Every structure is written in C-alpha cells, then in structure tokens.
Amino acid sequence: MSDIHQVKEFIFEDDRPFLSCHASTLELLPSGDILAAWFGGTKEKAGDVAIWTSRRVDGHWTPPVKAADEVDVPHWNPVLFRRADGVLFLYYKIGTSIAEWVTMVIRSADDGFTWSAPVPLVEGDQGGRGPVKNKPIVLQDGTLVAPASIEPAWDAFVDLSFDGGETWTRSETVPLDRVGLQGKGIIQPTLWESEPGIVHMLTRSTEGAIYRSDSADGGRTWCQAYATELPNNNSGIDLVKLENGMLALVYNPTRPEPGKIKGPRTPLVLSFSKDNGLTWDHERLLDEGDKQYSYPAIIANGLELLITYTWKRERIAFQKISLDMSRNDLYSGNNYTTILL
C-alpha cells in the first residue's frame, strides 16, 4: 500500500536466550524509552519459563534480561503498568496449570532497571486475580480497573482498586448465557471508558466472535456479554482508546473451522472505530504468513500507537504507528505511517 511505510525488525533476534516466547506487554516511560516484557523458556508451561524484559533506547532494543524467575515454576502473561506517581508494576502469573495460577506483582522505582521481591497480588489467590493479559486502565475518577478472567470456568470479570493498586476488589462475574454456546465462554478482556463511569470490554471467546459487555457503574457490574460482528479465533486481542475518542483494536480476523477449538492466528490486523466500538473499519494488515502472529498488546502516546505481539513463538515484534489527524484524513496519503521494529 502506497500510504504505509513499513520497516521490519524485532526486539531480539535468533540469538535469544530461550527457545520460545509469548504474551508480550509494553509501557512508555517518561524518558521516551519503551519497556517490553514477555514470558520465555523451553516452551509454554515448562518450569524454566521466566519473565523477560527489554528496553528500547534511541531506537535500539537492549538484550533481554530476566525480571522474574522462581525456580521450576512456569511463569505466564506479564502485564506492565506505570502509576502516575512513577511506580512501575509488573504483574504476572505463576503455576503449573492455569487453574492453579497465582498472580504475582513486582515493583520498580527506577522504570524497570531494578525490581522488588515478588508478592501475591491478592493473598489466598488461586486461579488468577488482577490483569490476566491486557493492561489496566485508570477511570476518570481515579479507579484502577484490571481486566481479568478465570479458567477453566472461562468467565470474565474485572478487579477494581481505589487506592492506586495497593488493594483490589473483585467485580461481579460478567453474565453469559451459556445455552447454545459451542465452547466454554469468554476470557481475557480489554477495556475502555467512554464517559465517566461507563466502561466497556471486548473479550476473546470460544464462539468464533469477539464478545462485548458494558458497565454503567465503573466496572462493578456488567451487562450480559453479547457477540459482536468481529471474528475471533479463540486467541488474545487488545485495544486502546486514543485522545480523540477513537478506538484502535489489534486482533486476528479469523474464526475456528467447524469442529475445531481455535482458528488460525494469522493474519494480525489493526482496525479503528469512531462510534465507541459499534462499527469497525479501515482494517490495516500488520503481519501474516505461516504459524502465528498473536497475543497483541497496544498502548497510545497521543496519536501514536505502540504495538507488540508474538511472532511465531520465536520473537517479539514491535510496531510504531503515527496517525495525523490534522486534515481529518486519517487513512490517506502520508497521514498513516508504520514502522515495524
């Protein structure tokens, strides 16, 4: 496409210190650096799977370093979040199976150069509290809302913090009519707030479509989840709300074939909504090919989008997308540029 400039690189190359990697997250730091994290080891669920980080400084990524590694315990699904006072949180799961997950959290006062000792996010947790894959959001009233879900029940909910992430209160489970479902349900929400206290989620599902639920009380209760027109391959998604109110969603626009649990994790695309997620258009290809391009994470810096995702379970890819709204012409000419690093 003539209106997209694309250069492709990766956070690390084939000399990585692990065989497999997945489930990335990223955070923009005040210095302009970008911190990314993911889990990596022999393979998913292996005892040597740890949480790794890398920092993008002056356009170059530093070598991966371990941020969390409890001996002989699989680590899963890191999520980065930087609080307004500068404290950087790194949430992640540990456990030999998803049903046994415990959410751990470490903190950094120096933007990820050093970390505190890990502690459980919620004492007595089993199954995973707090962010399950995607970033928390801060509501206009200051409430911190973490998108959460639990397996094997395949239920979605959110965790709410009214003190900046020090303590957490679980919302009600998102209602889901399971009559007629082909699979287990919905997990891994991604969140946005459209008006003060009006919060929405899109979720991964087993039903071939992205599901949605809405809350009118700041995430405490939710309406019954319902299918959208967006396809879903039973894999992770993520979105971000831009400063102009537009939504940007990254996902695989595929569905499982009849009789199969999951659909192809390729291609990976970016779509936009200007009407609070009712309709989506201007789909842009981010990556495609054999194997998988999956589990995206997306954040925004003004009208700049920063995206990471799994590339064939071998690398973590990064994209930087700049949007020029000055002529109210988002999708033509030089107003849309992409740099894949």
- Please indicate, yes or no, if residue 183 is contained in any of the structural domains: yes
Amino acid type, 159: D
Domain of 32 in residue numbering reads as: 6-322
pTM of the model: 0.94
For residue 11, the domain's CATH number is 2.120.10.10
- Please indicate, yes or no, if residue 328 is contained in any of the structural domains: no
- Please indicate, yes or no, if residue 337 is contained in any of the structural domains: no
In DSSP terms, which residues pair with 204 in a beta bridge?
187
- Please indicate, yes or no, if residue 168 is contained in any of the structural domains: yes
Q: What is the pLDDT of residues 6-41, one digit of tens each?
A: 446 899 999 999 999 999 999 999 999 999 999 999
- Please indicate, yes or no, if residue 274 is contained in any of the structural domains: yes
- Please indicate, yes or no, if residue 330 is contained in any of the structural domains: no
How many independent structural domains does the chain possess?
1
- Please indicate, yes or no, if residue 340 is contained in any of the structural domains: no
How many whole angstroms separate alpha carbon 261 and alpha carbon 268? 19
Which portions of the chain are predicted below pLDDT 50?
A: 1-7, 327-341
